[in-house]
Amino acid sequence: MSLPRVLSFHLILMLSAFTGAADGYYNSGWKECIYSSHDLSDMVMIVNYIFNKDVFLQFNSTVGEFVGYTELGVKNAQRLNSDGTAQQERAEVERFCKHNAKNRQSAIADKTVAPQVKLSSVNPAGSRHPAVLMCSAYHFYPQRIKVTWLKDNTPVKSDVTSTEELPNGDWYYQIHSELEYTPKSGEKISCMVDHAGLKKPIIVDWDPSLPESERNKIAIGASGLVLGVIIAAAGLIYYKKKSAGRILVPT
């Protein structure tokens, strides 16, 4: 699955001059590179020149020249557009923006970790349906992921509730989606997860025979029954051995 990438680079240069009073002067420059395509064909570079939090001069690569927003900005824009500075800034799209974007993309953005998917039954408290399934995807990167419910291989959109992609705090994410439904004989319910880390979507089919908790209860009960039979058999053998050594006298 191809996913859009949006990254930006910020270069902030700050110069402050204070007179000792509460008010002072604050100058800063902000260079930003923005793109969303993998081939960087839509790369845009914006350079803002700021005085006391107000942008007075800007270079935008889509415009191709400096634009002033104040009287001082207009004067500087005319000078920079005529002395070749604007042409140098246009070259920065290739030299600075695309160069750094390629490096960052290969080091970070193109790295993927496939999700781990779990399908389980949950308590249908407050639901309009007698059954609720939860499809959970864990430990995936990057953030974008798509979870789709299927009934007999047909996508389901109603009675579905999903969380956002939740950050784990360690670069990885998780997501949970619930499906409220009324069980029908022979109906096949599946959860399909699509992610950039997968060559093809993961599809997990729900086994409606018994919920996991019920299967655990049956397993525990069966183990207890076997243990009880073993203890009863051992007791019977012990009783017979003891009885064999006795002489019964009729009264």
pLDDT in tens, 173-226: 999 999 999 888 889 999 999 999 999 999 999 987 755 554 454 345 445 555
What residue ranges of the chain have pLDDT lower than 70? 1-24, 126, 210-229, 232-251
Residue indicated by tokens 């992610």: 195
Model pTM score: 0.50
Q: What is the reported pLDDT for 234?
A: 64
7 HSE (CA, 13 A, CB side): 21
Q: Which long-range contacts (CB under 8 A, 24 or more apart) does 157-163 make?
A: 159/128, 159/129
d(CA 196, CA 3): 7
E-assigned strands of 19-115? 24-35, 44-51, 54-60, 65-68
pLDDT of residue 208: 75
SS3 114: coil
The pLDDT of residue 153 is 93
156-167 per-position pLDDT tens digit: 989 999 999 999
Structure tokens at 87: 């042409």
Q: Are 142 and 163 in contact (CB under 8 A)?
A: no
**Ordered domains of the chain (ranges, CATH):** 7-109 (3.10.320.10), 116-205 (2.60.40.10)
Taking the C-alpha atoms of residue 74 and residue 6, their distance in angstroms, rounded to an integer, is 32
